Structure 1
Amino acid sequence: MIFSIPRLLTIGLLASVIPAHSIGRMERFRTVVTTDMEQDDLASLVRYILYTNELDTEGIIYTSSKYHWAGDGKGTKFFLPNREYNTSQTSWRWTGTRMIEDILLKAYAEIYPNLRVHDSAYPTAKDLLSKVKIGNIVFEGEMDKDTDGSNLIKSLLLDDDRRTLYLQAWGGTNTIARALKSISDQYSHTKQWRQLQTSISRKAVILASSFQDQTYVDYIAPNWPGLRVEDFATAYNTWGFNCNKGQGNVRALPKAHEYFTGAWIKANIQIGPLGRLYRSWLDGQHTPGDQLDVFGNYTLASAPGTWCKPLGPYDFLSEGDNVAFNPLLTTGLQDPSNPALGGWGGRSKLNSSAPELWRLVASETAANGSEVRGWTTDRWIAAASNEFAARMQWGLKSRYSGGNHAPEVRIVNGGKVKARAGQTVKLAARVSDPDRDAVTVSWWQYLEEGTYPGEVAVGGYNRNGASVKVPADARSGQTISVIVQATDDGEFPLTRYDRVIITVK
């Protein structure tokens, strides 16, 4: 992905070669997925499961939301105002608790031998199956009782693993809330409670694709104000439902539009045992139990009263929940401990310190120098889409040489550099590619990551370096963020990054 902006330098080179499978792996991020399993959750899981080699998946848990709940099986009726239904219901759009086990993991098992050829760190289907649990699914926001899902989260929060536990909320936060309440019920009357609550608040981070019930507002925020929560609802403009508003398919125009077209998705994503599960417009698929899943059928989708009118066959439909795991993916930019830094998951700002709530920034400076809404996630579309397609190919290729694998790039100077105003900083990068691909290296200023408010000149220096001129009016303590990105020339070009923060002395 090349950014044609004044502060960017592009240098083409043939990458140095390293042996296959020898790229060093950072400590994997520990995470739990909670999902209400509608059709866009399934699409997001298709993408997610191709990254289970890089993530330590501790749980995949069914939960409810305001859009999907199972009911208690006793005929009890439930109603909340301002929902999709206007009369009491015994269940709502519930898709069951077997889709992950019987459909997704079955397809994963078919491609697993090929995936292991490309990375031996992929877990087995049996291992992932052992992580699937049923959480609080009875009603929207139900958190009255402990469940297998909430008990799993509770045990992970209380265990001795010191890594951060990233709790993804693809549906409601109620199963997560139940786990926290169960801990509170058990320990709040003990002497160690304050220390334990502080420790858990530091250990857990909730990554919410949006708030799909009231349990964050009603329970988590007032009772666990020190627990960091990140709301990625704004990223729906990039990855959420792609609806026809009389304009046709205009998602990501102009430069990244290709990845939202039916031609690209049908050819590159909806292939093989796993890819065939992916959902797109008018693909003939339907999620059993969900009466509002009409997206696969033109007649039903275009009927009067439907909220999201159909696009062309196989056009992008929705992956509304990959927003919650994109911040964890290993790209070289990832630093989920600091939401203020950008990356495939976008860049966030602190919305509230008590409770600690972060939300994605509304806009960033795009290639033409203008402020563009959603650019914090839109800028990564091409890189993320090509990687998705490349990994889908891994599941179909039984030879390592048959797939494309990401390059690696590292800034030799390290991640932090100090310089005076007016000084020129020379940066250098080491680049390698496991496939012996040619790699294009680009350097650019991530304007919003730094505190210096203006553009900074980035020029060429030797074969794979950059020269950064610190502006004369830069003040002591201000920072400048410079990103190096390396993109190979594979069929689906793959990109990796590194970051250096220049601090003015």
Structure 2
Amino acid sequence: MRAILICLFVASAFGGVFSATPEDPPAASNTGHNRLIVLTDIEADPDDTQSLIRLFLYANEIDLEGLVATTSIHQRNRTAPESIHHVIRQYAEVHDTLSRHAPGYPDADTLSALVTTGQPVYGMAGIGEGRDTPGSDLIIAALEADDPRPLWVAAWGGPNTLAQALYTLRATRTPAEVARLTGKLRIYTISDQDDTGAWMRETFPDLFYIVSPGGYGAATWTGISHVVDGLDNTSISNDWLADNIQQGHGPFGAAYPDVAYGMEGDTPTFLNLVRNGLSDPEHPDWGGWGGRYEFYTPELSALDPDGFTGGVPVTEETRPIWTNAIDTLRPWLARPHGRAHGYGEENFTGYRATLWRWRDDIQNDFAARIDWTVSEYADANHPPIARLDHADRLTVHSGDTVALSALGSFDPDGDSLSYQWFHYREAGSFPDRIELWGADNLYARGFAAPEVGTAQTAHFILRVTDKGHPALSRYRRVIVTILPAARPRP
């Protein structure tokens, strides 16, 4: 094994690999944090309150620019901004303690100033001349702000406040200005919870739009809480929530309501904005904590058109959207003896698997941040720092030996680390699984670049996990471009 690793490192230097100085992962695909406005039908279901509590725990890593109370098919005639304020008052109780663990947490007054409302009516009935609201005005002002970063709008309920903003832009700006402003939008809606989603996608065909339209049974976001036979579902159980979030973890954890219809169905809208070294929000097809999505026009039959929507019509999509992608997951398991970690025997395939592969990490991270609200820095766990001993973009030729190394990774609390390298086949263009050499849990691994006829990409994920409690993971992504062999090989 030692000889293999030495060969790998020699090959990385002399085997035709292009690399640069190692660097830490960028905060986002653009400079700074990601911008986010949330549209929430809070009070339609306790899960909005659950997601809001989790969101505020990451408010140091996401630039929140609006918290808009809206309607939905499940809450058609009222909005509840007072419920957002209620969660903010609970956040105020823990803000100072939370801020001892990481810089950048906004204070409660700053969050309160972001709260506003949309129309207290359902769907397209709230769209038209004279239907502007403080919420739609806020979206327009955010788009027109002197800020080059994209603006993410997460719809946890009905998106008619966003639809009204687009209606007003189209009615009051030039086509060129509408194109410029809407080009900054990044939309992620939890299914279609009113009838404006289909209207927006048809009327503004260039909108960057992530959604699983149709019946909820065919939605990626359900993977956050979906119980599946053969997977360990402990971290989404009511007992786990009680033990790790709700009870004995301070007032903010105690404010987390019991599950009524489903746990945190809205949370995937912002998880890919968290700076964990894994996702690039501009590339939903790369995958991350918020799931993985591909850009295509789905068939109506694939949308579970007869499934539960609350009453929102399911219509044929008129153009490509970012929607369900299929992953195959082989769970990564701790072992009681011998090799400390390895893969399970069973594979799980489907659109929910794009979330299942990260679910325990997501939940452990949540539990750690709840602990931050009641603990001093020395008494809590903090995520490791995943680093690469090479560039995160490599170009190789077929037949080259490629070395991958996490040398330099460390933990700020001094915890021991575990490692996992894996080929995330679905995220790249090379269609086949690339097997890595060496034990599954080594910090340094490698592979032989496969034969290709045209340039292909392959994504490799480094997952670094500490042994603190709860165990926390951070990641790096290495994208390898594989070119045809530079010369004929014997």
With normalisation by structure 2, the TM-score equals 0.79
Structure 1: where are the runs of 5+ without partners? Answer: 1-21, 71-93, 188-192, 243-250, 282-294, 296-307, 309-316
Higher relative contact order (CA 8 A, sep 6+): 1
In the alignment, the residues of structure 1 paired with residue 81 and residue 400 of structure 2 have an alpha-carbon distance, to the nearest angstrom, of 61
**Deviates most, 226-235 or 31-40:** 226-235
The letter of the residue matching 1:439 is L
Return the match for 2:469 from 491, 494, 502: 491
CA distance in 1, matches of 2:93, 2:53: 13
CA apart distance, 1:122: 0.5
Deviation at 1:333, TM superposition (A): 1.1
Q: Which residue of 2 aligns with 1:41?
A: 48
> Is 1:105 the equivalent of 2:68?
no
Task: Tell me the residue number matched to 2:203.
Answer: 223
Counterpart position of 2:109: 126
CA distance in 1 between counterparts of 2:449 and 2:354 reads: 24
Aligned position for 2:278: 333
1:465 partnered with 2:444 = yes
Partner of 2:8: none
1:475, CA displacement in angstroms?
3.1
Instruction: Quote the Cα distance in structure 2 between the aligned partners of 1:350 and 1:206.
Output: 14
2: CA distance, partners of 1:213 / 1:228: 18
How far apart, CA to CA, are the structure 2 residues paired with 1:476 and 1:354? 32
Report the residue type matching 2:188 in the other structure.
Answer: L
Residue 301 (structure 2) aligns with = none
- Superposed CA deviations along residues 58-111 of structure 1, whole A, max 9, x for unmatched, are 0000011111123xxxxxxxxxxxxxxxxxxxxxxx46331111x201110001
CA deviation after TM superposition for structure 1 residue 428, in Å: 2.1
Is residue 216 of structure 2 the alignment partner of residue 235 of structure 1?
Answer: no
Query: Contact 2:452/2:482 (CA < 8 Å) preserved in 1?
Result: yes
Counterpart selection for 2:57 from 36, 46, 50: 50
Give the match's secondary structure for 1:435: coil
Please give the per-residue CA displacement for 1:237-290, whole angstroms capped at 9, x wherever unaligned: 3235x6xxxxxxxx1444431112232111111132112222224xxxxxxxxx
Distance (whole Å) between structure 2 residues aligned to residue 482 and residue 369 of structure 1: 21
Q: 2:188 aligns with which of 207, 215, 235?
A: 207
* Alpha-carbon contact 1:235-1:323 (below 8 Å) kept: no
Q: Could you tell me how far 1:136 is from its partner in structure 2?
A: 2.0
Matches within 5 A, 1:188-203: 193-203=174-184
Q: 1:411 is aligned with what amino acid?
A: L
| Number of corresponding residues | 410
CA deviation after TM superposition for structure 1 residue 24, in Å: 8.3
Residues 365, 372 of structure 1: 8 Å contact kept: yes
Q: Which residue is equivalent to 2:383?
A: 406
Aligned with 1:446 (options 414, 424, 430): 424
**How much identity, in percent, do the aligned residues show?**
31
Q: Secondary structure at the match of 1:411?
A: coil
Output one character per residue of 1:132-168: Cα deviation in whole Å (capped at 9) or x when no partner: 0111222344223111111000111112111000000
Which amino acid is the alignment partner of residue 464 of structure 2? A
Task: Specify the SS of the correspondent of 1:30.
Answer: strand
Separation of aligned partners in 2, 1:123 and 1:207: 23
CA, structure 1 residues 201+355, in 2 after alignment: closer, same or farther (shift >3 Å)? farther
Which residue identity is paired with 2:240?
A: W
Task: Please say if residues 422 and 469 of structure 1, whose CA atoms lie closer than 8 Å, have aligned partners that are also in contact.
Answer: yes
Paired letter, 1:405? H
Equivalences for 1:236-315 in 2 at 5 Å?
A: 236-239=221-224, 251-271=227-247, 272-281=250-259, 295=260
Partner amino acid for 2:206? Answer: G
Matched, 1:360 2:324: yes
Deviation of the 1:452 alpha carbon: 1.8
The question of whether the paired residues in 2 share the 8 Å contact of 1:383 and 1:494 is answered with yes
| AA of the residue aligned to 1:56 | D
- Pairwise mapping of residues 91-102 of structure 1 onto structure 2 (< 5 A)? 94=78, 96-101=80-85
Contact 1:324-1:345 at 8 Å conserved across structures: yes
1: CA distance between counterparts of 2:25 and 2:268? 26
d(CA) in 2 for partners of 1:450, 1:347: 12
Letter in 2 for 1:227: L
SS at match of 1:176: helix
Output the amino acid matched with 2:480: I
**One-letter amino acid of the counterpart of residue 504, structure 1:** I
Counterpart position of 1:32: 37
Deviations 1:296-345 (Å, cap 9, x if unpaired)?
Answer: xxxxxxxxxxxx6xxxxxxxx42110021112111111211011101111
2:267 maps to 1:322: yes
> Are the aligned partners of 1:226 and 1:355 in contact in 2 as well (CA < 8 Å)?
no
**Contact between 1:209 and 1:320, CA under 8 Å: does it hold in 2?**
yes
Task: From the superposition, tell whether residues 327 and 23 of structure 1 become closer, same or farther in structure 2 (CA, over 3 Å).
Answer: closer
Query: 115, 123, 126: which one pairs with 2:98?
Result: 115
Deviations 1:477-500 (A, max 9, x none): 122211111000111111111111
Q: In the TM superposition, what is the alpha-carbon distance from 1:423 to its structure 2 partner?
A: 1.6
Contact 1:386 1:492 in 2 (8 A): yes
Identify unmatched segments of 5+ residues in structure 2.
Answer: 1-23, 298-316, 332-344, 484-490
Aligned counterparts of 2:467 and 2:75: Cα–Cα separation in 1? 43
Whole-Å separation in 2 of the counterparts to 1:198 and 1:412: 42
CA deviation profile, 1:19-62 (whole Å, cap 9, x unmatched): xxx99855210010000113111111111111111100000000
State the distance in 1 between where 2:162 and 2:238 align.
Answer: 36
> Which residue among 110, 131, 135 is the counterpart of 2:118?
135
8 Å Cα contact 1:256/1:381 also seen in 2: no
Structure-1 separation of matches of 2:76 and 2:474: 40
Q: Residue 383 of structure 1 aligns to a residue in which SS?
A: helix
CA contact (8 A) 2:70 2:118 kept: yes
Letter in 2 for 1:270: Q
> For 1:253 and 1:457, how far apart are their aligned partners in 2?
27
How far apart, CA to CA, are the structure 1 residues paired with 2:228 and 2:209? 28
CA RMSD, Structure 1 to Structure 2 (Å): 2.3
CA distance change for structure 1 residues 354 and 228 in 2, over 3 Å: closer, same or farther? farther
Give, in angstroms, the shift of residue 117 of structure 1: 0.4
Task: Provide, for residues 375-408 of structure 1, a one-character-per-residue CA deviation record: whole Å limited to 9, x for no partner.
Answer: 11111111000000000000111x2111111111
Offset at residue 369 of structure 1 (A): 6.7
Q: Distance in 2 between matches of 1:467 and 1:158?
A: 47
Post-superposition offset of 1:354: 6.7
Contact 1:252 1:378 in 2 (8 A): no
